[in-house]
Structure 1
Amino acid sequence: MYDTILIPTDGSDAATTAARYGLTLAERFDATVHVLSVVDPDRFVTDSVGDVDDLIRRQHERFERRARDAVDRVAGASAVPVETHVVEGRPVTVLAAAIDDYDADLVAMGTHGRSGVDRYLLGSLAERTLRTAHVPVLAVREDDAHGAAPTIATVLLATDGSEGTERAADHAVTVAAATGAHLHALTVGDDDGPAERVVARAREAGVDATAAVRSGRPHETILGYARNHGADLVVVGTHGRSGVERVLLGSVAERVLRTATRPVLVVGP
Structure 2
Amino acid sequence: MYETILVPIDGSEHAIRAGEHARYLAHVFSASVHLVSVADVQAMGGMSNGDDLDEAFVERIEAEHKRAIETSEEVFQGDSIETAVLRGAPADAIVDYADSHSIDVIAMGTQGRTGVGRYLAGSVTESVVRRAPCPVLTTAATERSQLDGDYDDLLIPTDGSEPAAAAVSHGIAIAEAIGARIHGVNIIDADALAPTPEHTAPKRLLDRFKAEGERTTGKIATRATNAGVDVTTSVREGYPTRDLLAYADAHNIDLIAMGTTGQTDLNRYLLGSTAERVIRHAEIPVLAVNARGSMKR
The two structures have a TM-score, normalised by structure 2, of 0.77
- Whether the 8 Å contact between 2:26 and 2:32 is mirrored in structure 1 is yes
**In the superposition, relative to structure 1, how do residues 215 and 171 fare at CA in structure 2: closer, same or farther (>3 Å)?**
same
Question: Which digits, 9 at most, give the CA deviation of each residue in 1:230-260, with x for residues without a partner?
Answer: 10001111149xxxxxx92121100111111
Residue matched to 1:72: 73
- Whether the 8 Å contact between 2:99 and 2:133 is mirrored in structure 1 is no
Structure 1: runs of 5+ lacking an equivalent: 114-119, 241-246
Distance 1:236 1:133 in 2: 15
Matched, 1:199 2:221: yes
Q: Equivalent residue of 2:142, what SS? A: helix
* RMSD across aligned positions (CA): 2.6
**Corresponding letter in the other structure for 1:34:** H
Residue matched to 2:105: 106
Distance 2:59 2:96 in 1: 27
Distance 1:102 1:169 in 2: 24
Q: Equivalent residue of 1:210, what SS? A: strand
Residue matched to 1:122: 120
Question: Which digits, 9 at most, give the CA deviation of each residue in 1:50-98, with x for residues without a partner?
Answer: xx8376256325424423424533442x54x311112222212210111
**In the superposition, relative to structure 1, how do residues 129 and 61 fare at CA in structure 2: closer, same or farther (>3 Å)?**
closer
Distance 1:239 1:232 in 2: 23
- Greater helix fraction, Structure 1 or Structure 2: 2
Mean alpha-carbon deviation: is it higher for 59-68 or for 215-224? 59-68
Residue matched to 2:14: 14
Q: Equivalent residue of 2:16, what SS? A: helix
Deviation at 1:40, TM superposition (A): 2.1
Residue matched to 1:244: none
**In the superposition, relative to structure 1, how do residues 40 and 74 fare at CA in structure 2: closer, same or farther (>3 Å)?**
farther
Residue matched to 2:33: 33
Matched, 1:248 2:269: yes
Distance 2:9 2:149 in 1: 17
**Displaced runs of 4+ in structure 1, greater than 4 A?**
144-150
Residue matched to 2:249: 227
Structure 2: runs of 5+ lacking an equivalent: 48-52, 113-117, 189-209, 263-267, 292-297
**In the superposition, relative to structure 1, how do residues 54 and 26 fare at CA in structure 2: closer, same or farther (>3 Å)?**
closer
Q: Equivalent residue of 1:192, what SS? A: helix
**Corresponding letter in the other structure for 1:16:** I
Distance 1:147 1:70 in 2: 18
- Whether the 8 Å contact between 1:35 and 1:75 is mirrored in structure 2 is no
**In the superposition, relative to structure 1, how do residues 69 and 210 fare at CA in structure 2: closer, same or farther (>3 Å)?**
same
Residue matched to 2:3: 3
**In the superposition, relative to structure 1, how do residues 57 and 260 fare at CA in structure 2: closer, same or farther (>3 Å)?**
closer
- Whether the 8 Å contact between 2:62 and 2:85 is mirrored in structure 1 is no
Question: Could you tell me the percent identity over the aligned residues?
Answer: 36
**Corresponding letter in the other structure for 1:63:** E
Distance 2:46 2:233 in 1: 57
**In the superposition, relative to structure 1, how do residues 144 and 104 fare at CA in structure 2: closer, same or farther (>3 Å)?**
farther
Question: Which digits, 9 at most, give the CA deviation of each residue in 1:144-166, with x for residues without a partner?
Answer: 58765563111000012222211
Distance 2:216 2:7 in 1: 32
Q: Equivalent residue of 2:103, what SS? A: coil
Q: Equivalent residue of 2:270, what SS? A: coil
**Corresponding letter in the other structure for 1:37:** S
**In the superposition, relative to structure 1, how do residues 84 and 217 fare at CA in structure 2: closer, same or farther (>3 Å)?**
same
Distance 1:56 1:38 in 2: 15
Q: Equivalent residue of 1:230, what SS? A: coil
Q: Equivalent residue of 1:151, what SS? A: coil
Larger of the two Rg values belongs to structure: 2
- Whether the 8 Å contact between 2:153 and 2:252 is mirrored in structure 1 is yes
**In the superposition, relative to structure 1, how do residues 61 and 206 fare at CA in structure 2: closer, same or farther (>3 Å)?**
closer
Residue matched to 1:85: 84
**In the superposition, relative to structure 1, how do residues 134 and 180 fare at CA in structure 2: closer, same or farther (>3 Å)?**
same
**Corresponding letter in the other structure for 1:97:** D
**Corresponding letter in the other structure for 1:188:** I
Matched, 1:257 2:257: no
Deviation at 1:178, TM superposition (A): 1.1
